[in-house]
Structure 1
Amino acid sequence: MYAWFLSLKTEDGGFRMNSTGEEDVRAVYCCLASAALLNILTPELVEGVADYVSRCQTYEGGIGASPGNEAHAGYAFCGLAALCILYDPRKVGDHIDLDSFVEWLSQRQYQPEGGFSGRTNKLVDGCYCWWVGGCWALLEAGGQPVLWSKPDLQKFVLSCCQAPRGGLRDKPGVKQDFYHSCYVLSGLSEAQYRYSFDGGSEEKHNKLGEWSFMYKFEVEHDEVVLVDDDNAVGPLNPVHVLPWQMGEQMHAFYVAVDD
């Protein structure tokens, strides 16, 4: 797996999606997130990655698929989460213009719907409940203020994204699907909790003789924001979008294997 990851790495610090595929920030996030879970994140693998993500930030403040592309919420999460795998989330401002990023992100929630759009001048879409909401989770963990309405996003999910026959969807009038069900529910979770960062990291040597780590996030249960007690969901790991503690358990397993 490690050799395959390295084979996809490009000279400018990015990654390709596959051997003949496109290079973009999705690939960066997928590679780093997988490597962190597998305990094979090394300096060799991450060399130049932060600079690549920095070059993907656009004049609007968001992050595009690759340098020069339009800012898009899906890529914004991938870029921000990649930086949060590499660094303390309170330090991401060392690698992107954080004020510009927050300004762009704060413009994604629309009224009266309460949902998020993925790009400037686009309609709200259920999947951005996570792609935008997940960015807010990481920023809040890094000490940024809450500059959006968590109750309004929950109302959007409960009133607009539920399909009559089950599952969740982009918006009313659109069919439900697994993709939107996943990210709408993930966004609903993010909107019900507040995440913080404990400031520590766990460093372990792996079989490659290098270091690997899993940052430790905390969820503040005393700040749960619910608009309806019957629709409470569990918290997530805000980097890996996995059920709470699942990523940490996976990481610990591979640390033990290496030891």
Structure 2
Amino acid sequence: MSAPDAEAPKLDKARHIKYWQRCHKSFLPTAYTGSDSTRLTFAFFIISALDILSVPLTAQDRAAVRTWVLSLQHPDGGFCGSPTHAIAGENASKGSANIAATFFALILLGMAAETEEEQRSAFAGVDRKAILLWLKKLQRSDGSFGQVLWEGEPTGGRDTRHSYLASSIRWMLRGSVEREDENRVEDIDVEKMTQYIRGLQTYDGGIAESSTEESHAGYAYCAISALSMLDRHSDAAANAKGAMDSGIEDRAKLLKFLAHRQFKYMSNTEAIASDEGSTENYLEAKLGDLSLDGERAYTGFNGRWNKKADTCYTWWACSMFRLLDADYVYDAVPTGNYLLDITQHIIGGFGKAVGEPPDIYHSYLGLATVGLIGGHDLKEVDAGLCCSTDAVRKIEMAREGMLEALKKQSEQRGGWGGEEFWGKAAEMIKVR
């Protein structure tokens, strides 16, 4: 992978900071109203973008994030996506927790911690046992995961997005708990999960919702990241060793599929498509020109065959190269140039494609890709969790602090239970 060139276009950091601060401190445009149920997802994008840009939250904002996130926790496990799905009081169990919201909630709690004390207590208030039991219920017999529980059964698609979220939640909460420890919770079926993902690779080397459907770089990222999070697990005894190896049927074909997602940007074929007709976002002409031969200033990525370049796919593809130790497959310079010269917007953020306005989703993934490539005065970005490596470190601290607290509680219950507790309490009162 080439290092960013000194003469390459620059990230306008000041404008990006203003863009994300507007998102944080003011109402979002009306176009986001229909996505209110995923408010927790938007919160992650906004807070994580500010973190990557090294813009710290105030103590008041950190406390507000923490209080709000914990208010969305479901009593039966997991987190709800927005207050509209989190019912208070005696009807709280009628709310709807989902796997994506739970993933974003845990990362947000980690990012909202600044001091060492805050980091170690970031997961205080998180019902670890309930979430892990809920997570296990979300797994189907074939190894896939649902999005929500409905009448005790997992519902939602079977695609790799849910596998990725489940694997990440597991990594954030389980830790190194001994099998005989009372804080150990029954695990998901890691082997079935790994084999399920293995069966999703298609004839062209990509990964889809099933081996007979269209391959997609987004599904491929979620599959590879899910496997990488299994291999990252801190509990070596419980870890499915070599999940990346056993979960990918044909690594060479996968890399070939990913390599073919990049092509030279050509302004005459990348003009914004009209909203009319069914050909939007397709390259109907000069498909044979989509080559990486020779010099190129800009390299874009698409997610499927015969599609135009899209900002978000630079993340899905480039982060997979990092996870697969295959950064050599792409050139960082023209890739960065495409983002910074073509889709970076004048008001900050990134658009989906050339000439399009910025939106939270593409702005975040564009920024994350620039952080992944390196340079431009951004924090280093973790390819697996799609946040800064600093945030990952905080999450590890939060897990360690949570497990230590649980261990102390267990010891206190063991030594101060029943009559012994009240006897020692009485002695303490007499001493005072």
TM-score of the two chains, using structure 2 as the length reference = 0.48
Alignment gaps of 5+ in structure 1 = 193-225
Structure 2: distance between partners of 1:163 and 1:50 = 40
Q: Which residue of 1 aligns with 2:335?
A: 153
- Deviation string 1:40-96 (CA, Å, 9 cap, x unpaired) is 696434241110111111111111134432111111110001111123797623331
Q: Secondary structure in 2 aligned to 1:115? A: strand
Residues 129 and 186, structure 1, Cα contact 8 Å, conserved in 2:
no
Residues 349 and 364, structure 2, Cα contact 8 Å, conserved in 1:
no
Range 169-178 or range 99-108, more displaced: 169-178
Structure 2: distance between partners of 1:90 and 1:27 = 20
Q: Which residue of 1 aligns with 2:158?
A: 23
Structure 1: distance between partners of 2:143 and 2:158 = 10
Structure 1: distance between partners of 2:347 and 2:245 = 44
Q: Which residue of 1 aligns with 2:171?
A: 36
Q: Which residue of 2 aligns with 1:108?
A: 261
User: What amino acid does structure 1 have at the position aligned with 2:385?
Assistant: H
User: What amino acid does structure 1 have at the position aligned with 2:348?
Assistant: G
Q: Which residue of 1 aligns with 2:132?
A: 2
Q: Which has the larger radius of gyration?
A: 2
Over 3 Å counting, the alpha-carbon distance change for 1:68 and 1:18 in structure 2 is farther
User: What amino acid does structure 1 have at the position aligned with 2:381?
Assistant: L
Structure 2: distance between partners of 1:75 and 1:27 = 10
Residues 230 and 243, structure 2, Cα contact 8 Å, conserved in 1:
no
Structure 2: distance between partners of 1:48 and 1:115 = 35
Over 3 Å counting, the alpha-carbon distance change for 1:179 and 1:85 in structure 2 is same
Structure 1: distance between partners of 2:165 and 2:263 = 29
User: What amino acid does structure 2 have at the position aligned with 1:170?
Assistant: K
Q: If each structure's strand is expressed as a fraction of its own residues, which one has the higher value?
A: 1
User: What amino acid does structure 2 have at the position aligned with 1:186?
Assistant: A
- Deviation string 1:219-243 (CA, Å, 9 cap, x unpaired) is xxxxxxx5xxxx3422112211111
2:193 matched to 1:63? no
Over 3 Å counting, the alpha-carbon distance change for 1:42 and 1:67 in structure 2 is farther
Structure 2: distance between partners of 1:31 and 1:90 = 18
Identity %: 27
Range 3-12 or range 243-252, more displaced: 243-252
- Deviation string 1:116-142 (CA, Å, 9 cap, x unpaired) is 1111111100001111111011112xx
User: What amino acid does structure 2 have at the position aligned with 1:120?
Assistant: W
Range 81-90 or range 18-27, more displaced: 81-90
2:328 matched to 1:134? no
Q: CA RMSD in A?
A: 2.1
Matches within 5 A, 1:52-201: 52-87=196-231, 92-96=244-248, 97-112=250-265, 113-140=298-325, 144=326, 146-192=328-374
Structure 2: distance between partners of 1:45 and 1:86 = 11
Q: How many residues align?
A: 219
Structure 1: distance between partners of 2:349 and 2:327 = 32
Range 36-45 or range 66-75, more displaced: 36-45
Residues 38 and 251, structure 1, Cα contact 8 Å, conserved in 2:
no
2:386 matched to 1:256? no
Structure 1: distance between partners of 2:188 and 2:322 = 29
Q: If each structure's helix is expressed as a fraction of its own residues, which one has the higher value?
A: 2
Range 82-91 or range 43-52, more displaced: 82-91
Structure 2: distance between partners of 1:47 and 1:90 = 11
Over 3 Å counting, the alpha-carbon distance change for 1:235 and 1:90 in structure 2 is farther
Q: Secondary structure in 2 aligned to 1:110? A: strand
Over 3 Å counting, the alpha-carbon distance change for 1:163 and 1:251 in structure 2 is same
Over 3 Å counting, the alpha-carbon distance change for 1:3 and 1:54 in structure 2 is same
Structure 1: distance between partners of 2:263 and 2:223 = 23
Query: What's the offset of the Cα at 1:2?
Result: 1.1
Structure 2: distance between partners of 1:25 and 1:236 = 22
Structure 2: distance between partners of 1:33 and 1:68 = 27
Over 3 Å counting, the alpha-carbon distance change for 1:114 and 1:258 in structure 2 is same
Structure 2: distance between partners of 1:233 and 1:252 = 22
Matches within 5 A, 1:184-223: 184-192=366-374
2:423 matched to 1:241? no
